Amino acid sequence: MQQPELIPHLFRTEYRKIIAVLCKRFGFVEIETAEDIASDTFMLAAQTWSLKGIPPNPVAWLYTVAKNKAKNFLHQQATFTNKIVPATSTAENSATIPEYEIDLSPQNINDSQLQMMFAICHPTIAVEAQIGLSLRILCGFGIEEIADAFLTNKETINKRLFRAKEKLREENIPIELPGITEIDERLHSVLATIYLLFSEGYYSISNNKTLRKELCFEAMRLCNMLVENKHTNKPPVNALLSLMCFHASRFEARINEQGELILYDEQDTSLWDADLISKGSYFLNCSATGNQLSKYHLEAAIAYWSTQKDDTHEKWETVLQLYNRLLRIEYSPIAALNRTFALSKANGKQEAIIEAEKLQLTSNHFYYTLLGELYKGIDNVKARLHFEKALSLAKTSTDKATIQKKVDQLTS
């Protein structure tokens, strides 16, 4: 790899590791110092490497520089502390690690990243802030990329991150893995954030396909870290990873060159990623232990059936029952609509129309698209009215185009 690509690449893979280790060492009180040290390290790399060439081991070079900068900081801090405020809380860590040592071993990097994940996804931090912080600190995204992903500007993201970091300090959130009694509950919010991160990429209306894909794969990477750690390798974690693998397997097939959405029925199945589908199945099997049935289990099972293109009654009956159970655990309008579609496939359109009309999701264009689909072939006049209503509610040009096509098919 040449220098121009090397630094952004290393930034993406190494920044988050350095930040996690330094934050863990300094505590959230000094999160900005940790960020500054990590950023300065990369700045120095850019300057030095362009003059002297790339060092033989660029990662080791970065770690050495980051370590030295961190040691200098700790030294200054100690000098300050010893002279002004004796006996402070930083003494806790120094029992195991020599005073100014910075441990950038793979083990400590991994532990620190996991602990950071739990700290950032702490229930007291607003969800939006959790996602921003995750992208910045756990995934090493640039502010501009985060702004792009959220379709907003850098200033908004900076403000959001600033407030989130303040909250981490105020709440004095420890950077550690939760204890055994707490872990399931805390994992719950970590998984929720990971899934949101994934959905942000998967369903985003941003046209930047590369960025969207990266968001998805970052979410999967974080989930994979949880699977690889024995304390966090729990059934719902495997279920979520499985679910994301199944969804991601259709990434190439569901968006065309123009960034437009291709509906499931019209996807080129040769573009489905067989490797990810088999990974999805593997993790789905791993999730089938214990007696906990999470919403991720149900969603993963539904996503598995989506990788089976056959239009059999058995498939739709199974999917219907999975949606019935999913909705009992957690209601969402999209699950309600999908459930009604599965109902039409399993029990027939007449029954599904009656059920659909009870949903009354009258501000949702998918609701009217579904009603249009259900009435198609039964009452085309009503079908048309529903598609037109959907058209008036749809916001993006992709959605409008998709619905327009359905209207056109009715008349032809």
Tell me whether residue 194 or residue 326 sits nearer to another protein (CB atom): 326
Torsion of CA 275, 277, 280, 284, to 10 degrees: -130
Burial of residue 228 (number of CB atoms within 10 Å: 0-12, 13-18, 19+): exposed
Q: Which of these segments, 3-11, 167-175, 195-203, 326-334, binds another protein (CB under 8 A)?
A: 326-334
What contacts 24+ positions apart, CB below 8 Å, involve 230-233? 231/177, 231/180, 231/183, 232/114, 232/177, 232/183, 232/187
Closest CA to 244 of 325, 292, 306: 306
**Nearest distance from C-beta of residue 317 to another protein, angstroms:** 8
Using CB under 8 A as the binding rule, the residues of this chain from 17 to 46 that contact another protein are none
Using CB under 8 A as the binding rule, the residues of this chain from 242 to 281 that contact another protein are none
Binder among 324, 350, 392, 397 for another protein (CB under 8 A): 324
Binder among 101, 252, 260, 355 for another protein (CB under 8 A): 355
Q: How far is CA 93 from CA 87, 113, 278, 340, in A?
A: 13, 17, 43, 55
Task: Lay out the site mask for another protein across 103-142 (x = CB under 8 A, - = otherwise).
Answer: ----------------------------------------
- The secondary element (H helix, E strand) that includes residue 144 is helix 143-149
Closest CA to 215 of 227, 225, 203, 228: 203
Tell me whether residue 232 or residue 340 sits nearer to another protein (CB atom): 340
With b for 16 or more beta-carbon neighbours within 10 A and e for fewer, the 101-132 pattern comes to: ebbbeeebbbbbbbbbbbbbbbeebeeebbbb
**Distance (Å, rounded) from C-alpha 92 to C-alpha 398?**
56
Is residue 121 a contact partner of residue 193, using CB atoms and an 8 Å limit?
yes
**Nearest distance from C-beta of residue 351 to another protein, angstroms:** 9
**Nearest distance from C-beta of residue 302 to another protein, angstroms:** 13
Q: Is 298 in the site for another protein (CB under 8 A)?
A: no
Contacts of 312 (CB under 8 A, 6+ apart): none
Binder among 267, 321, 364, 404 for another protein (CB under 8 A): 321
Binder among 102, 117, 277, 320 for another protein (CB under 8 A): 320
**Nearest distance from C-beta of residue 324 to another protein, angstroms:** 3
Q: Is 343 in the site for another protein (CB under 8 A)?
A: yes
Q: Is 87 in the site for another protein (CB under 8 A)?
A: no
Q: Is 331 in the site for another protein (CB under 8 A)?
A: yes
Closest CA to 222 of 207, 251, 200, 204: 200
Q: Is 230 in the site for another protein (CB under 8 A)?
A: no
Q: Provide Rg for the chain, Cα atoms.
A: 25
**Nearest distance from C-beta of residue 327 to another protein, angstroms:** 4
Binder among 83, 313, 358, 395 for another protein (CB under 8 A): 358
Which residues of the shown chain bind another protein in the complex (CB under 8 A)?
A: 317, 320-321, 323-325, 327-328, 331, 335-336, 339-340, 343, 347, 355, 358-360
